[in-house]
Structure 1
Amino acid sequence: MILGNLASSVGNVVGDITGLNKPSKNTITGSVVIVKKNVLDFTAVHSTVADSLFELLGNQVSLQLVSAENPDPANDNGGKLGKLATLEYWNLTYTPLLAGDDSLYKVSFEWDEEFGIPGAIILRNNHTAEFFLKTITLENVPGEGRIHFVCNSWVYPDRRYKKPRIFFSNKTYLPHETPAALRKFREEELQVLRGDGTGQLKTGDRVYDYALYNDLGDPDKGADLARPVLGGLAQYPYPRRGRTSRPPSKTDPKTESRLFLPNILNIYVPRDEQFAHLKLSDFIAYNLKGLVNQIIPLLEAFVNYTPNEFDSFKDVDNLFFSGLPLPTDLINQVANNIPLEMMGEFFRSDGQQLLKFPVPKLIEDRSNPFAWRTDEEFGREMLAGLNPLLIQLLKEFPPVSNLDPRVYVNQNSSITKQDIEYNLDGLTVEEALSSKRLFILDHHDTIMPYLQTINEYTEAKTYASRTILFLRGDGTLKPVAIELSLPKMEEDKIGCVNKVYTPAEHGVEGWIWMLAKAFVNVNDSGHHQLVSHWLNTHAVLEPFVIATNRQLSVVHPIYKLLHPHFRDTMTINALARELLINANGIIERTFCPGKYSLEMSSVIYKSWNFMDQALPNDLKKRGIADGDIKSLDDLDRLLIKDYPYAVDGLKIWFAIENWVRDYCSFYYKTDEMVQRDPELQAWWKELREVGHGDKKDEPWWPKMQNLEDLIQSCTIIIWIASALHAAVNYGQYAFGGYFPNRPTLSRRFMPEKGTPEYAELEKNPEKVFFRTMSSQLQSLTVITVVETLSNHASDEVYLGQRTPNWTTDAVPLQASDAFNRRLAEIEGVILKMNIDKKLKNRIGPVNVPYNLLHPTGEIGISGKGIPNSISI
C-alpha cells in the first residue's frame, strides 16, 4: 500500500513536471442572449417547429472561438479557430410569448493555453429562421476574466451568407493596433458589408451601397407622376441614398420601379438598420403604411359626409376637445378595414364613435384660446417653435435679393421706412439697424424661382415672402411688416410685384394681417418640412450611415462613437421615400410646393455647407451671434439673449463637443495618427466623393489631416443626428397639429379691396380663412401624419445612453459618464429657465415651455427629449 501510494505520488509529480510542456485543457463557459422570432408571429410558427426538429437532427446553432493572439498559417494567418460548440438546450429553453423578450442560452467552449485570448466568435445558424443576437459573454477566460461581445444583429440561416457571421469582442482597435490574428477577419467583414455593387438585394442582406434619388417618381402610372432624378447632375444635386436594387420602371429606365401596398415594408435596407422587429418602432412603421392604405381613404370618406370645409375655429377645436361624430356606415367601414390598435390611435370612443385627436400643446391652455394668433407668438415661434433655424439679422434696409441678375430683375424689397418706423419703439430705421435690432424671416429667394410654376401647375396659390421683425426691450420679437410677392415678366427677365402689410388688430384689416402671417407660415411650413427637417437631417445624414458601415470596422473607435447615432435612420428614410416624399405622396398632397417639393429641396441643397451645420457657425452666419462662440462663456455674443433654441442648443453642442474631444483624444494622440489611419481616410474620402459626391469639390470640407478636423466633423454628425433633428421633429404636433397656426397650403390669393372675396371677408372672416388655407382633408391628413411623427417610442434611446459593455477602455467610459452628468445638469438648467418669467420666449403667450432640447423625454407626444438618432 505504501509503495503503491509512493508510486502514485511520483507519477503525479512527473505528470506535473511534464505538464509544464503540454497545454492544459480547460472549459470556458458562456451565455448567449437571443430574441427569437416571436411564437405569436404566425409567419414564424412553421420555422419554430422546423428548428426544433433541426436541433434533434444535430443542425444546431454553433459557435467557434477565434484567437486574438495566435494566428494559424492554415487559415491565411487568421486567428486560430477553436472547436465547434453549440447552444445548449434550445428546445428546452423557455421562449417568451411577449415580443422582444430575451431567451438566455448557455454554451461551453474547449480552450487551451496555445489558443490564447479569444478576440472574435464565428457563429453559424443552422436553423430555418433568423433570430436577433444581442450579446455573448464568456466567463472566467484564463488571463482575461469576462469578455463581452455586444452583437445586436439579426442572424439568418447560414446558407444565406457567403461568409459565416463573425462577432468581435468589445475591445477597440485602430487599424494598425489590431492583433495580427484578427486583421484578416476585420478586412473580410468590411468587404461583406460593401458588397460588389451588383445583384438584387434581398431581405436579410447586409450590404451598404449608394444610389441616386431615382425612386420618387412612378412614371408607369402616368406622366404626371414622373419626377426628376435627384443627385448626379449639376441641375439637381442631392445626397446619396441607400441602394435598394429594384429594377427600372418600364417607362423610364433611369427611374427605379416602386413597391406596391401592402408590400411597402419590404423595401430593402441592410437588415441591422431595420426597425427592431418586436418593438414600438414597428408600430410606427405600420402606422405610416396604414395612413396611406387605410386612414387617409377613410378621412376622404369622412370629408364626403361634411360640407368639405371647416367654417370656423370652433369646428377645428371640436377635433380636439369634443370630437366630430362619425356616421354609422363610416363606423362600419372603419371596423371592417382598420386593425383595432389603429382604431384606438386615430378614431377614439368617448361614449360614441368620434373623430377626435389629442389636444396639441399650443391650445391646451384654455384661459387664452387665441394666444396662438398674437404677434408675440408669431415672432416667438421663430426662436422657440418648430423651425427656429431661419431668423437672421437684417443688415441692409430695404432687404435685397441674391437671385441671379441674369434671370431676375427688381427682386429687392419694396418695404419703406414709413411702413415700419412708427413701430420701432421710437427708433429710426438707421438706429434700429445700427443697434442690431432688426431681423428678417426671408422666404423670397427660395420660393420665387418656383412661384410661377407652383401657382400655375398645382392647386396652390401663394407668394414669396419677407417678414421684418423688431427686437423689443423685453427680448421678444415684434413683426413690423410682411411683404408678399408674385412674379411678373419684365421683357426677358423675371421681376416681381410686391405688396406690404403691416400689423392691425381689429376689423377687416386685422384679418388681412392674420392672413398675411398665415401666408408666411405656409412658406415656413414647407421650408421646415422639406429643408430644415427632411434635407438637413434625414437626407444629409444617410451617406454618413452608409460610409461608416462600409469603411470603418465595428472595432474602430470612430465607428463605436458614431454608430448609436445611426439607429433606424435608413429605414425611416426608405419609408419616407415610399410614402411621404414620393410622387403624389403625403407631402406633395398637403404642402405648398406640391409636385415640386423635392426638386426645390435639391436646388436648396446647392448651398448646403457641412461646416455651417455646426451650431456656433450657423448662428454667426445668420448674424445672430456677434462674433465667434467658442464656449458657453461667449453666450453674451447672442444678439437675442432669450433665444431658446440657440441657448439650449449651445449647451448641448458644447457638451457633445467636449465628449467627442475627450473620446477622440484618447485614441489619436497626434495629428499623424489621424493621417495614417487607412480606414478613417477611406471613410472621409468616400463621404465627400460618393455620399455627398455632388459637393465633393467644395473647399469647406475638413481635410481630415488633424485631430481637430476629426473632432469637429464627429461633433457635427452627432449634432445633426440628435439635437438638430429633435428640434425640428418632435414639436410637429405641438405647433403644427393645430393647423391654423401653421397651415401647409394656401389655395386662394389675398382678398383685394373691391372684390367679392374682400366683401366675403368683411362678412365671414373665419370662413374666408379656411377657404384660403389648407382644405379639410389636407388638414386632417397633416394632423394624423404629424401625430405619428411626433411620437417617442417605448424603446427610445436618448442622447448619451449606450449599450452596456460597449467598450473595455476606461477613459472613454469615464468620458461617457461625464457627458451624461453634463446632460443631466443641462436638463435642470432648462427647467429653471422655463419658469423664469423674465424669459418671455421660453413659454410665450401659449404657455408652452421650450423642451425640445431637454435631453431625456417621455413616451408618446411629449414634445421633450433628444434621441440619439433620426429614428422617425
Structure 2
Amino acid sequence: MLVVYKVTVYTGDAAHASTFHNVYITLVGTGGQSESVELTSWLPSFHERSVKNCKVKCSKPLGELLVIILRKEHHILFPNSPWFVAKVEVKSPMGDIYLFPIYKWITDCEEHYFREGSAVLFSQEKHDITKLCWTKDIVEQQRLYNWAEYKSGLPHIMEAETCSALPLDVRFYFTKELEMAYTAVKALVELKLVELAECKEKFRSIEDIQCLYSCHRTEISDYVHDHWKEDSFFGYQFLNGVNPMVICRCRALPQNFPVTDEMVFKGSNQRLKDEMKKGNIFLCDYKILDGVKANIVNGKQQYLVAPLVLLHKTPDDKLMPIAIQLKQTPAKDNPIFLPTDSEWDWLLAKTFVRNADFNLHQLSFHLLRTHLLAEVFTVALLRHLPMMHPLYKLLMPHTRYTLMINFLARKLLISDTGVFTRFASSGGEGMLTILREALSSVTYRSLCLPDDISDRGLEDVPNFYYRDDGLKLWNIIYRFVKGTLSFYYKDDKMVQDDQALQEWIYAIYSNGFTSEKKTDIPMRLNTVKELLKFVTMVIFTCSAQHSAVNSGQYDFIGWMPNTPVSLEGPPPSRKGEATEATMLDTFPSIDVTVHGMATVWLLSKQSSDSEYLGNYPEQRFTDKVPLEKIKTFKQQLKNLHKQIKKRNKRLELAYTYLDPKVVENSVSL
C-alpha cells in the first residue's frame, strides 16, 4: 500500500526566481528514502512567488524525515535558468509537518541536499545523511566565497572581479539593482545640480552656496543651515551628529595641547584643573590624521589638519568649544584658537575641524568599522557555518546586500576614479594611510558600545542621545541573542567544542585584523558569555552602528559650510587675518561641493526594499524558542521606538538615527 507525502514548494519573490526546468525531489528519512519524483510539467510551475503543491508516493513510511534532495534538469530553451527556492514543507501520512527553510538560488543541475530546518550543532547530528549535508554545504560555500586582499594592511574582502561574479545569493534583487543604478545616475538630476557638476569656480559669497542647498532640504539640514556658526551646535555634533565617536572626557591635558586658564577662563575664577576633576572638560583628538598627505583636486593642493579640540560642559548642559589647535605639534605658526578671537578666525578654525571630522568619520568610523568589518563577518559566516547552524540562521539577515554594496562602494567611491578619491581632502594616498592607521587602533572594546562609552568616560554626559538610544538597542539585541543562542549552547564546553564556530571567529580575526599590532579581538570563544557578547557586537555593528554613522550624512553634510568634504586653503598660521574672503577661498570649489552633496544624499537615501531591525521575512528558524524570542525582540524594538518618538517631541532637534523604525538589519547602503 502506498503512502503519500504532501510537498509544498515556495519559490521566492526575487525577480527572475522562476524556472522552466524539470524539478525533482527525493525525501530521506530514518526509515529509508523515496524515489526521485518529478514535481514539474512543461509549464513553468515554479514562477516568482508561486506555491506549488505536489505529492510524493512511497511504498512505506520513511520514518522521521531528515533531508530533501532537490535537482533541476536543463531545459532545452533555457539551459542556465536559476531558481530561487524559498522553502519546502512536507506533510507526512501521519500528519507531521517538516519544514525546510532554504532561501537559496539553485543555478546548476546537481543534487542539492537540505536538512530539516531545526537548528543544530554538528556534535548533535546522529545520522550520516545529515552529516553529509554539513559537508556538502561547507564545500559548496567555500567554492563560492573566497577571501581576497583589497589593499595591504586592510581587512580582506570577498573575491570578485565584477558584480556579476558575486554569487546570486548575495546580489541585489533585480528591483534593488535598477534602483541603485537609477539613483546613482539621477542623484545630480534630482538635486538639480547637473549643470554645476563640472563648474570649477569658487563661491563668491555664502549666499551663493544657498542656491545649491535649496534644491534638497530636510528638517534637520534646515536646522544645520540656520545654526552651523553657533558654538553650542558645533559642540552638539560631537555627541549627536553623524560622528559621535571621537569625543572623550579629558582628565589631563595632552602635553602637545598647552591650553592655559588665562586662555579659556580669562576673567573668571574657574580653573581647567578643577573643571577636569568635575568631569566638565572634553577632548576631541584627530591625531590619526597627523602627517596624512592631502589630495590634489582639479590641479590644486587640498589641505587636511589633525586638530585637537577642547570643550567645556556649561551649567546649562551645553557642550561649548573653548580651544582649538589645528596641528598636533605646538608652534608659533600653530596658534590655539579661542572663542574670544575674531569671528572669522574662530569660524575658520572650526571649519578645519569639521573637515577633519568628515574625513576621519568617512574612512574610520563609517567605511572601516561598519562596511569593511561587516564584509569580514559575512564572508567568514558564509565560509564556515552551514545553513543548519543556529548562528547562521541568526546572522544571515544581518548580512543582506553587504557584499554587493561594498563592491559598489569600492568601485564608485574609493577606487582611483571614485568620488571620494577625486574630491575629498584625504582621497588617494591619504585615504589608505588613514585606513591602515585606523585599523591598528581598533580594539574589541571600541566595537562594543557599553565598553566604548565607559572607556571614553561618557556615561553621564547629558543630552547624549546616541549613547542613550544605542545602549538601549545594544541591551535589546543582547537579550535576543542570549535567549536564542542559550537554547542551543547549554554550557561553555558546547562553545569550545563547536569547530564551525571556532573557525568562524578565527576567520574574522585573521582576515579582519591584519595589523601586527597586538589586539584584543578574540581568536577563539571559550564561554557562552563570550559568544553572546561577540554576536551582539556583530549584529549591532551591522545594523545600529551603521545607521548611526550613515543615515544622517545629508542632514549634517548637505549644507557644505557645516562640513566641507575638502578645503583648498591652508590652515591659518596667525590670528587676526581671516575674513569672509579667506573663508570662501578656503571652501572647496563648486564642483567638489556638488559631488559631495550628491554622494551623501545617495548614501542617506533609504531603499524601497529596506528590511528593518527585527523584521525577518525569511523564516530560517523553525524551533519554537527562537521564534518566540523573535516576537519578543520585535515587541521590545517597538517599545523603544515609542520611547524615542516621545522623547524627540520635546527636543529642539530630534535624534532619529537609532530609532528601530529606521535602523536596517544590515549594511545595505
Q: TM-score, normalised by structure 2?
A: 0.91
- Superposed displacement of residue 512, structure 1: 1.8
Q: Does residue 413 in structure 1 map to residue 257 in structure 2? A: yes
Which residue does 2:637 correspond to in 1?
Answer: 823
Distance in 1 (alpha carbons) for counterparts of 2:176 and 2:521: 40
Residues 88, 116 of structure 1: alpha-carbon distance in 2 compared, 3 angstrom cutoff? farther
Is contact 1:393-1:623 (8 Å) kept? yes
The letter of the residue matching 1:182 is: T
- Superposed displacement of residue 123, structure 1: 2.6
Residues 849, 35 of structure 1: alpha-carbon distance in 2 compared, 3 angstrom cutoff? closer
Distance in 2 (alpha carbons) for counterparts of 1:531 and 1:690: 17
Which residue does 2:282 correspond to in 1?
Answer: 439
Q: Does residue 25 in structure 1 map to residue 7 in structure 2? A: no
Q: 2:84 aligns with which of 121, 133, 149?
A: 133
Structure 2: unaligned runs, 5 residues or longer? none
Distance in 2 (alpha carbons) for counterparts of 1:307 and 1:26: 74
Distance in 2 (alpha carbons) for counterparts of 1:525 and 1:157: 46
Q: Does residue 617 in structure 1 map to residue 451 in structure 2? A: yes
- Superposed displacement of residue 498, structure 1: 2.2
Which residue does 1:311 correspond to in 2?
Answer: 204
Q: 1:155 aligns with which of 106, 111, 128?
A: 106
Q: Does residue 269 in structure 1 map to residue 127 in structure 2? A: no
Query: Across the two proteins, how many residue pairs are aligned to each other?
Result: 661
Aligned to 1:666, what secondary structure does the other structure show?
coil
Q: Does residue 171 in structure 1 map to residue 118 in structure 2? A: yes
Distance in 2 (alpha carbons) for counterparts of 1:789 and 1:675: 40
Q: 1:849 aligns with which of 633, 654, 669?
A: 654
Distance in 2 (alpha carbons) for counterparts of 1:472 and 1:541: 38
Distance in 1 (alpha carbons) for counterparts of 2:271 and 2:328: 29
Aligned to 1:620, what secondary structure does the other structure show?
helix
Residues 38, 26 of structure 1: alpha-carbon distance in 2 compared, 3 angstrom cutoff? closer
Aligned to 2:291, what secondary structure does the other structure show?
helix
Is contact 1:451-1:464 (8 Å) kept? no
Correspondence 1:492-507 to 2 at 5 A: 497-504=333-340
The letter of the residue matching 2:660 is: P
Is contact 1:465-1:482 (8 Å) kept? yes
Distance in 2 (alpha carbons) for counterparts of 1:695 and 1:661: 33
Residues 598, 564 of structure 1: alpha-carbon distance in 2 compared, 3 angstrom cutoff? same
Residues 149, 289 of structure 1: alpha-carbon distance in 2 compared, 3 angstrom cutoff? farther
Aligned to 2:6, what secondary structure does the other structure show?
strand
Which residue does 1:283 correspond to in 2?
Answer: 179
- Superposed displacement of residue 487, structure 1: 6.6
Q: 1:192 aligns with which of 140, 150, 153?
A: 140
- Superposed displacement of residue 566, structure 1: 0.6
The letter of the residue matching 1:208 is: Y
1:658-716 per-position Cα deviation (integer Å, ceiling 9, x unaligned): 11111111101111111111211222222223443446963452631110111011011
Distance in 2 (alpha carbons) for counterparts of 1:300 and 1:396: 50
Which residue does 1:603 correspond to in 2?
Answer: 437
Q: 2:28 aligns with which of 57, 60, 67?
A: 67
- Superposed displacement of residue 102, structure 1: 2.2
Correspondence 1:387-786 to 2 at 5 A: 387-397=243-253, 399-400=254-255, 412-422=256-266, 426-443=269-286, 445-450=287-292, 459-485=301-327, 497-504=333-340, 509-595=342-428, 596-624=430-458, 638-694=459-515, 698-701=519-522, 703-750=524-571, 758=577, 762=579, 765=580, 767-786=581-600
Distance in 2 (alpha carbons) for counterparts of 1:527 and 1:587: 13
Which residue does 1:15 correspond to in 2?
Answer: none
Distance in 2 (alpha carbons) for counterparts of 1:668 and 1:92: 41
Distance in 1 (alpha carbons) for counterparts of 2:116 and 2:424: 48
- Superposed displacement of residue 871, structure 1: 0.3
The letter of the residue matching 2:149 is: L
Which residue does 1:331 correspond to in 2?
Answer: none
The letter of the residue matching 1:111 is: C
- Superposed displacement of residue 319, structure 1: 2.6
Which residue does 2:241 correspond to in 1?
Answer: 385
The letter of the residue matching 1:280 is: K
- Superposed displacement of residue 315, structure 1: 2.2
Is contact 1:34-1:104 (8 Å) kept? no
The letter of the residue matching 1:556 is: H
Is contact 2:8-2:51 (8 Å) kept? no
Which residue does 2:149 correspond to in 1?
Answer: 212
Structure 1: unaligned runs, 5 residues or longer? 1-22, 40-47, 72-79, 96-100, 196-206, 214-228, 231-236, 247-263, 322-355, 401-411, 489-494, 625-637, 837-842, 857-864
Residues 687, 458 of structure 1: alpha-carbon distance in 2 compared, 3 angstrom cutoff? farther
Distance in 2 (alpha carbons) for counterparts of 1:816 and 1:451: 48
Distance in 2 (alpha carbons) for counterparts of 1:867 and 1:520: 30
Is contact 1:392-1:622 (8 Å) kept? yes
Residues 752, 555 of structure 1: alpha-carbon distance in 2 compared, 3 angstrom cutoff? closer
Q: Does residue 807 in structure 1 map to residue 604 in structure 2? A: no
Is contact 1:170-1:807 (8 Å) kept? yes
- Superposed displacement of residue 486, structure 1: 7.1
Distance in 2 (alpha carbons) for counterparts of 1:665 and 1:771: 60
Distance in 2 (alpha carbons) for counterparts of 1:686 and 1:803: 28
Which residue does 1:833 correspond to in 2?
Answer: 647
- Superposed displacement of residue 820, structure 1: 1.2
Distance in 2 (alpha carbons) for counterparts of 1:167 and 1:733: 44
Residues 657, 285 of structure 1: alpha-carbon distance in 2 compared, 3 angstrom cutoff? farther
Is contact 2:282-2:310 (8 Å) kept? yes
Distance in 2 (alpha carbons) for counterparts of 1:190 and 1:754: 64
Q: TM-score, normalised by structure 1?
A: 0.71
Distance in 1 (alpha carbons) for counterparts of 2:83 and 2:598: 32
- Superposed displacement of residue 243, structure 1: 1.3
1:804-833 per-position Cα deviation (integer Å, ceiling 9, x unaligned): 542221111111111111111111111222
Identity %: 25
Distance in 2 (alpha carbons) for counterparts of 1:281 and 1:375: 42
Distance in 2 (alpha carbons) for counterparts of 1:650 and 1:553: 31
Distance in 1 (alpha carbons) for counterparts of 2:541 and 2:575: 50
Is contact 2:84-2:105 (8 Å) kept? yes
Q: 1:103 aligns with which of 19, 42, 50?
A: 50
Distance in 2 (alpha carbons) for counterparts of 1:742 and 1:144: 64
Q: 2:196 aligns with which of 287, 294, 302?
A: 302
